[in-house]
Amino acid sequence: MNRYRFLGYFFIIFVSISFLSRTALLVYSFTFVDTSIIGLLKLFIVGFFYDVMAYFYYIIPFVIYLFLLPQKWYNSKIHKVLSLVVFFGVVYAIVFNGVSEWFFWEEFGKRFNFIAVDYLVYTHEVIQNIRESYPIPLLLEAVLIVTGIIFYVLYKCTKGFEKLFEDDSTYKERAWMTLVLLLIPILSFIFLQKQTIATGSSVNRYNQELSKNGFYSLFSAFRNNELDYYEFYTTENNTKILKNYRKLVQGKNSHFISDDLNKTLRQVAHDGEEKKYNVMLVMIESLSASYMGLYGDSKNLTPHIDALAKKSLFFSNFFATGTRTVRGMEAVTMSVPPTAGRSIVKRPDNHNMFGMGQVFKEKGYDNKFIYAGHGYFDNMNDYFGHNGFKIVDRNSFDKSEVTFANVWGVCDEDLFDKSIKEADASYAKNMPFFSFIMTTTNHRPFTYPDGKIDIPSHTGRWGGVKYTDYAINAFLEKAAKKPWFNDTLFIFVADHNGGSSGKNDLPLYRYKIPLIIYAPEIVKAKNITKVSSQIDLAPTVMSLLQWNYKSKFYGKDILNNSFKPRALIGTYQKLGLYQDNKLTILLPNATAKEYKVKELGLYDTKYEEMPIDKNDLDDAVTYYQSASYFYKHKLDRYEK
């Protein structure tokens, strides 16, 4: 089988580099590793196993290529030159990966994991950070030299590469070899979905991590898209956490139904008659507080929303939990902290979660998720469709209902017009309705219908903000003519802000967003200045509806006098608690920091690092560890 000799030499190179990388990391962490003979044997034997598995994943496209390539093309000069160029590039990538793993290990003491996946997603921030942190040109040159040395040795061992291209195999022989080489990674995919062999090989975490392979770990992280809180963050005894959780989430009008700490269901009671007001919740793409005149911006981008806030319940110290749309959706619908890793919206195990959709459905509401684009994006349709909502997305729009659209979906005006039609349909069935409406216009490429505002389409973020402001005003003017208007709560909240970068670990000002509840016949205008966040929206709305219901919400009614101001904010890696003018941050290397917030401005936040307050740390750990615990043990699911 000479044709596959190429893969044999590649196996030697791949496994050798993986072995050297593992050895280098072992030396770096020598004082933390179990260096007994048994411990080291397990480390390298299990490591070799994962190196081999990673190799078989890596060669899948090459195996298919070598099988399909006709003999005539295989012997051509073009194929030989192209193969050597690709081979050089692949070897360069493997050496580069080894160097990258060194720096990743230096930072986190871990093989590639979901944090590395996160880095691949947010390339701009990551590339800027790398450029500022490391001598990139020098490293790339060093990788090039090492790759060149490997290729020179290969050249000598294969008589000027001649041995690489010898081939006397038959089609039948190639078919059998291809079947074997593809069957191995397929079986691995089926039976080794998680790296249980590595984690079970030692009680020492460093030994477990060193026995993994970086490529294999990265592939595994793509498939298992969450960070295990218990593995990466500061933890406390679960019993202590669950007791403190009860203190943090229980209010004067709610009590836990069971004394069992693993039973999370509470009964929430309100005085007065329950209301069946309609709810139209508009989640606005990227509407930062810093874009609004009401907060002090001078560009006059949101004149209509500014005026609306003065006629509404306006929560002026309200914060997003994260920096992505799915984080806002998760926090608003489920009222949960931004757990480590990806949003629950994007995780595979997210059906039948406790949330607004289930509660409204139980109360007899016609629930709809109304989205301007295709809801398969970010797994939104699957999440909403399995948590109490009907789906109305781009596929639900007739051609006559679309006046303008871009890559993200129809313009905000078309979206709101569709939302009004859907409200009319529910009203005609004599059903109260809950519509979760997600806008998209305030998103790159910032295109919208011409002639609506004084900023030309496709000229930047400011135009996107101002057009959305225009569309919201038009929406309310049309809704005001409907028979259901006076019995409807119109809620406007941003999913997140217009940017997530900043000088600090968690730039607090970046998370500040508006929450506006407008219902002129139901609520009185008032500016609520309490610090709060998206997890508090659901219980606050249900308080306005005077509902008695069973709850698993982390959030609390902001309007209640007993509400303790605090906000939960985070990225996929850093988890924060903002309370009493202090920001406590949990980091994915099992450490924490705390800052005094000296100044929270419109465009910046000034911090001063301070000793960690034990109570603040306990609260932060409680919020995030308990949320991880409940998800892991499926205690956050809906119960009737």
Judge if 220 and 334 occupy the same domain.
no
Determine the pLDDT at residue 502: 45
pLDDT at 503: 44
Q: Span 547-558, mean pLDDT? A: 97
Burial 214-238 (b: 16+ CB within 10 A, else e): bbbbbbbbeebbbbebebbbbbeee
Mean pLDDT of the chain: 90
Query: What is this structure's pTM?
Result: 0.75
pLDDT of residue 463: 95
Task: Mark residue 173 as left, alpha or beta (left: phi above 0; alpha: psi -120 to 50; beta: remaining).
Answer: alpha
User: How many other C-beta atoms lie within 10 A of the C-beta of residue 423?
Assistant: 22
Residue 626: per-residue pLDDT: 97
Minimum mean pLDDT range among 188-202, 465-479, 509-523? 188-202
**Has residue 558 been placed in a domain?**
yes
Within a domain: residue 589? no
Residues 216 and 290 in one domain: no
Residues 44 and 137 in one domain: yes
CA angle 350, 355, 359 (to 5 degrees): 130
Residue 379: how many other CB atoms lie within 10 Å: 18
Q: Let me know the angle formed at the C-alpha of 429 by 423 and 430, rounded to the nearest 5 degrees.
A: 90
- Report which of 438, 454, 449 is spatially closest to residue 411, judged by C-alpha positions: 449
Is 266 within the bounds of a domain? no
- Say which range, 156-170, 246-260, 337-351, has the weakest mean pLDDT: 156-170
Spatial separation of the C-alpha atoms in residues 424 and 406, rounded to whole Å: 27
496 in Cβ contact with 327 (< 8 Å): yes
pLDDT (0 to 100) of residue 125: 45
**CA quadruple 199, 200, 206, 210: dihedral, nearest 10:** -70
Tell whether the model's pLDDT for residue 126 goes beyond 60.
no
Q: In this structure, what CATH number is given to the domain that contains residue 528?
A: 3.40.720.10
Q: Of 525, 545, 562, which one is at a domain's C-terminal end?
A: 562
Task: Please report which confidence band the pLDDT of residue 501 belongs to, taking 50, 70 and 90 as the band edges.
Answer: very low
pLDDT at 225 over 90: no
Q: Please, which residues have CB within 8 angstroms of residue 276's CB and are 6 or more apart in sequence?
A: 363, 364, 432, 487, 545
Determine the pLDDT at residue 425.
Answer: 98
Q: Please say whether the dihedral angle defined by the alpha carbons of residues 617, 623, 628 and 634, taken in this order, is positive or negative.
A: positive
**pLDDT at residue 276 in the model:** 97
On whether both 111 and 201 belong to a single domain, the answer is yes
Claim to verify: residue 186 and residue 309 sit in the same structural domain: no
Q: Are residues 358 and 489 in the same domain?
A: yes
**pLDDT (tens digit, 9 = 90+) per residue, 59-106?**
999 999 888 888 888 888 888 899 899 999 999 999 998 988 888 887
Weakest-pLDDT range from 349-358, 496-505, 558-567? 496-505
Segment among 193-207, 274-288, 300-314, 462-476 with least mean pLDDT: 193-207
pLDDT score at 258: 96
pLDDT for the residue 130: 67
For residue 120, what pLDDT is reported?
Answer: 62
CA–CA distance, 477 with 239 (Å, rounded to integer): 53
By DSSP bridging, strand 278-284 and strand 488-494 are parallel
- The helix-helix angle for 5-28 and 136-157 (nearest 10°) equals 140
Alpha carbons 250 and 256: distance in angstroms, whole number: 8
What pLDDT is attached to residue 435?
A: 98
The share of the chain scoring above pLDDT 70, in percent, equals 92
Q: Is the pLDDT of residue 128 over 80?
A: no
Residue type for position 344:
I
Together in a domain, 215 and 289 = no
Is the sign of the CA dihedral 221, 226, 228, 234 positive or negative?
positive
Confirm whether 355 is domain-assigned.
Answer: yes
**What value does the mean pLDDT take over residues 18-26?**
94
- 480 and 397 co-located in one domain: yes
- Give the number of other CB atoms < 10 A from CB of residue 110: 22
- Phi and psi based region of residue 352 (left: phi greater than 0; alpha: psi -120 to 50; beta: remaining): left
User: Which of 562, 595, 626 is at the close of a domain?
Assistant: 562
124-139 mean pLDDT: 67
In a domain, 586, yes or no: no
Question: pLDDT per residue over 138-186, tens digit each?
Answer: 989 999 999 999 999 999 988 888 887 877 777 888 888 889 899 988 8
State whether 450 and 550 are in the same domain: yes
Residue 111 lies in a domain: yes
Q: Which pLDDT belongs to residue 369?
A: 98
Given this model, what pLDDT does residue 604 score?
86
What local confidence, expressed as pLDDT, does residue 527 receive? Answer: 98
Q: Residue 330 contacts by C-beta under 8 Å, 6 or more apart in sequence?
A: 321, 322, 336, 338, 343, 344, 345
The 10 Å Cβ neighbour count of residue 289 is 24
Tell me: do 479 and 542 sit in the same domain.
Answer: yes
* Most confident residue range from 66-75, 192-201, 395-404: 395-404
CB within 8 Å of 591: residues ≥ 6 apart: 234
Residues forming beta bridges with residue 528, ordered by sequence position = 315
* Residue 280 pLDDT exceeds 90: yes
Q: Is the pLDDT at 500 greater than 50, yes or no?
A: no
Identify the residue whose tokens are 């509407």: 287
Alpha carbon distance 362, 238 (integer Å): 32
Domain annotation covers residue 31: yes
32 with 133, same domain: the answer is yes
Average pLDDT over residues 335-344: 91
Instruction: Give how many domains the chain has, as a whole number.
Output: 2
What is the percentage of the chain residues whose pLDDT exceeds 90? Answer: 66
Final residue belonging to a domain, choices 513, 546, 562: 562
With 90 as the cut, is the pLDDT of residue 550 above it? yes
Task: Find the domain containing 163 and state its range.
Answer: 2-224
The reported pLDDT for the residue numbered 579 is 97
> Is 577 among the domain residues?
no
Q: Are 361 and 440 found together in one domain? A: yes
Position 170 scores a pLDDT of 78
